Amino acid sequence: MKHVKLFEQFVSESDLSYWKDYETGHPQSPSWYDEAAKSKTEAIKLVDAVVNHELEEMDDKDADIDPKDMKTLTDLAVKYCKTFGSINGHIVSAMLFQETK
């Protein structure tokens, strides 16, 4: 059983490492996107802040995120933070646009 757990952990980390490419982000992103969240609580607050900012930036005033997508995004961000020790707004923004509808 331990072998299977280790393999699952390896696959999970390699899947999550995909997001490391987005660590630097776009030059037009807000400067606070560079700040790293280093705990579960900070990661959750960061997800909320990024989602709210991105929704405000959209032209569609009725833009919103589905609660299931928000949970998926939050879970993914927390898992990333737990695995790699921190997460920033650039990564959360990339997750938002690639993992939600």
Closest CA to 23 of 13, 14, 31, 33: 33
Closest CA to 34 of 77, 79, 91, 81: 91
**Whole-angstrom Cα distance, residue 24 to residue 91?**
8
pLDDT at 2 over 70: no
Q: Which residues contact 36 (CB under 8 A, 6 or more apart)?
A: 86, 87, 88
**Whole-angstrom Cα distance, residue 71 to residue 73?**
5
Q: Which domain holds residue 16?
A: 2-99
> What confidence tens digit (pLDDT) does each residue in 7-66 have?
444 445 558 898 999 999 888 899 999 999 999 999 999 999 999 999 988 877 777 889
State the total domains in the chain. Answer: 1
